[in-house]
Amino acid sequence: MMKTMRKRFEEMTTAELHKATAEFESELPVGHDELPGRPMNRNEQQRWNRMKKKIGRPRIGKGVKRVMISMEAQLLKDSDAFARKNHLNRSQLIAAGLRQLMAG
């Protein structure tokens, strides 16, 4: 069985484009609050609230503070290579080095 090739949207004529996108032309039903769709039920609201808590970077310790430092170019290149080899990002490498130095 041969697979039919579809044209890319930018290659279609106006008539072909209208036909290809006709399924998206219908309006969404409007709820009592004048917004499209329907209100979430209790189960959906609970799932949404759980998901919202997971959005963003995880908090580590008391949070994260961005700092700008100056470093010799070759040292930065070498440290990035070391971090990559050890499956760390730059921040993790620097934090580990600082902890080790401060531990004595």
User: Rounded mean pLDDT of 81-90?
Assistant: 96
44: its two tokens: 């959906």
Q: What is this structure's pTM? A: 0.44
Determine the pLDDT at residue 1: 55
pLDDT tens digits, 27-58: 777 777 777 777 889 999 999 898 888 777 76
CA distances from 98 to 36, 66, 67, 102, 103 (A): 52, 15, 14, 6, 9
pLDDT tier at 97, thresholds 50, 70, 90: very high
Gap between the Cα atoms of 11 and 96, Å rounded = 53
- What distance in Å separates the CA atoms of residue 6 and residue 21, rounded to the nearest whole number? 13
What mean pLDDT, rounded, does the chain reach? Answer: 86
